[in-house]
Amino acid sequence: MQTVTVLGATGSIGCNTLDVIGRHPEKYRLFAITGYGQLELLMEQAQQYAPRYVVVADEALYEKACELAQQYKVDAEVLCGSQALQDVASAPEVDAVMAAIVGAAGLLPTLAAVKAGKRVLLANKEALVMSGALFIDAANQSGAKILPIDSEHNAIFQCLPQDFVYGDLASSGIHKILLTGSGGPFRERDLSTFSSITIDEASTHPNWSMGRKITIDSATMMNKGLEFIEACWLFGAKAGDIEVVVHPQSIIHSMVQYIDGSVIAQMGNPDMRTPIAYGLAHPQRIDAGVSPLNFSDIVNFSFQTPCFTRYPNLKLAIDACKDGQCATTRLNAANEIAVEHFLDGRIQFNDIALVNEAVLNALPSVTVNSIQQILEQDSLARAKATDIIRGKFLC
Ligand code: NAD
Ligand code: MG
């Protein structure tokens, strides 16, 4: 029996995680679930899955959450705030933590789980993009096991040899990691019409159902850029070891190409319950509720090279990855602000990459060696992005 905390339980990954856990009550019990808004959903989840704690990230919602807990007859204790998120991620009773808060807000609770040596199911790619070496060092020190939940990284993890040594791709005979991505909803759209892309169009992914922010990141391919950085840290790869391949059908979730000419791919229907179940049960396999892939249903199975004119954010992220920690932290922060402004209807789709680039160009590079410095760079880049948007796009 594993005791699990689900950070970001009300989100897309969080709901899928609870769905898989609910299929195996004899294997998993919940210690805590957390959410930001959506208190009704959080209390419904508490009612159904009976965790010991329900954590509301926003302290201002504490009283309302307590009232709702009574109304929903929830037995769990209600906690609130940032420290409570870290506490339920690192409590001694917890075996595994699903890190599924979106964005930089997930950094501290995810790190708390890593430092406490938990089995960390990492969906919150932004945490790793922001803190890279510090995150990996903390896992090495505590003995935390990081299991990639992002479907691509989960696929790569499944395609690597069992004796793979972190950072040593050559000794495993690996030629390249092939990171696949669908190309999003605008893969074939006329480039001259990008400025008129609506929020609804950008919020509709052809293959995956996901949270709002990652859906926009998938449309700009910033998501693939963040995943490029994530893959470098997860496997100790260098930028030159990874190639992005556009695969519109999202059947192959990524591949590893070996020096003998073999390519090992992981496939399946696009359903996040597969990597979640793999992360929960590894090294075993459990039923995830995912329908089997039926090859006779696959009409097209195609691949392309991504075009940086269409996806400038992908290029920015690959360049930032080569540049180092300061650049990737700033890019992630700038992008969160730019996406937020796009979703609020204040800037255009094209402007997201322009804001990101302008932030990276406006700030001189510095060395970051601590979480404190990372948080400072995150704040600096957010402030700069906000200034740039006010000055350049909203005047
Ligand atoms: P989502 O927006 O659906 O859910 C986000 C969760 O985080 C919610 O529970 C929300 O309440 C919580 N949250 C939001 N802001 C918060 C804050 N300030 N403090 C604390 N909690 C906060 O997002 P999602 O699509 O489930 O994605 C979650 C993470 O998983 C992201 O990092 C994303 O990149 C990654 N991921 C998602 C998918 C997917 O299929 N959805 C796939 C791969 C990776
Ligand atoms: Mg992914």
Spatial contact of 70 and 79, defined as CB atoms under 8 Å apart: no
Q: Which CATH architecture best describes the domain 2-148?
A: 3-Layer(aba) Sandwich (3.40)
pLDDT digits (tens, 9 = 90+) for 210-258: 899 999 999 999 999 999 999 999 999 999 999 999 999 999 999 999 9
Distance in Å, CA 293 to ligand 1 centroid: 26
Spatial contact of 258 and 175, defined as CB atoms under 8 Å apart: yes
Instruction: For residue 395, name the pLDDT band (cuts at 50, 70, 90).
Output: low
> Which amino acid belongs to residue 90?
S
Share of the chain above pLDDT 70, in %: 100
pLDDT for position 392: 81
Q: Which residues pair with 242 in a beta bridge?
A: 177
The CA angle 150-249-209, to the nearest 5 degrees, is 50
Q: Which atom of ligand 1 is nearest to the CA of 85?
A: 20
Q: Which atom of ligand 1 is nearest to the CA of 150?
A: 43
Q: Which atom of ligand 1 is nearest to the CA of 109?
A: 20
Helix, coil or strand: residue 104: helix
Q: What is the mean predicted confidence (pLDDT) over 302-313?
A: 98
Distance in Å, CA 385 to ligand 1 centroid: 22
Our mutation pick for probing the ligand 1 site, out of 15, 61, 102, 149, counting the most ligand atoms within 8 A of Cβ, is 102
Helix, coil or strand: residue 180: strand
Query: CATH 3.40.50.720 region(s) of the chain?
Result: 2-148
Rounded-to-integer distance, Cα 367 and Cα 324, Å = 9
Query: CATH 1.10.1740.10 region(s) of the chain?
Result: 324-393
Cβ(105) – ligand 1 distance below 6 Å? yes
pLDDT for position 80: 97
The pair of three-digit structure tokens given for residue 207, joined into one six-digit string: 């293959």
Rounded-to-integer distance, Cα 386 and Cα 356, Å = 11
Quote the mean pLDDT of the chain.
Answer: 97
> Among all chains, which residue has been given the structure tokens 């935390």?
144
Please state the pTM of the whole predicted model: 0.97
pLDDT for position 40: 97
- Do you know the residue count of the chain? 395
Cβ(224) – ligand 1 distance below 6 Å? no
Q: What is the mean predicted confidence (pLDDT) over 66-74?
A: 97
Our mutation pick for probing the ligand 1 site, out of 121, 210, 278, counting the most ligand atoms within 8 A of Cβ, is 210
Distance in Å, CA 15 to ligand 1 centroid: 10
Distance in Å, CA 109 to ligand 1 centroid: 13
Our mutation pick for probing the ligand 1 site, out of 5, 7, 13, 85, counting the most ligand atoms within 8 A of Cβ, is 13
Strand order in the sheet with 28-35: 77-80, 53-56, 28-35, 2-7, 96-99, 119-122, 145-148
Question: What's the CATH class of domain 324-393?
Answer: mainly alpha
Q: What is the mean predicted confidence (pLDDT) over 262-269?
A: 98
Residue owning the nearest CA to atom 4 of ligand 1 = 11
Helical H segments across the chain, by residue range? 12-22, 39-49, 62-71, 82-90, 107-115, 125-142, 151-159, 199-202, 212-220, 222-235, 273-281, 312-323, 325-343, 351-362, 371-388
Cβ(357) – ligand 1 distance below 6 Å? no
> Among all chains, which residue has been given the structure tokens 């329900």?
54
Spatial contact of 82 and 105, defined as CB atoms under 8 Å apart: no
pLDDT for position 208: 81
pLDDT digits (tens, 9 = 90+) for 356-387: 999 999 999 999 999 999 999 999 999 999 99
Cβ(57) – ligand 1 distance below 6 Å? yes
pLDDT digits (tens, 9 = 90+) for 221-233: 999 999 999 999 9
Residue 221's nearest CA partner among 329, 110, 304 is 304
Distance in Å, CA 35 to ligand 1 centroid: 10
Burial class (CB in 10 A: 0-12, 13-18, 19+), 386: middle
Cβ(101) – ligand 1 distance below 6 Å? yes
Spatial contact of 144 and 114, defined as CB atoms under 8 Å apart: yes
- Burial letters for 235-260: b for 16+ Cβ neighbours within 10 Å, e otherwise? bebeeebbbbbbbbbbbbbbbbbbee
pLDDT digits (tens, 9 = 90+) for 87-134: 999 999 999 999 999 999 999 999 999 999 999 999 999 999 999 999
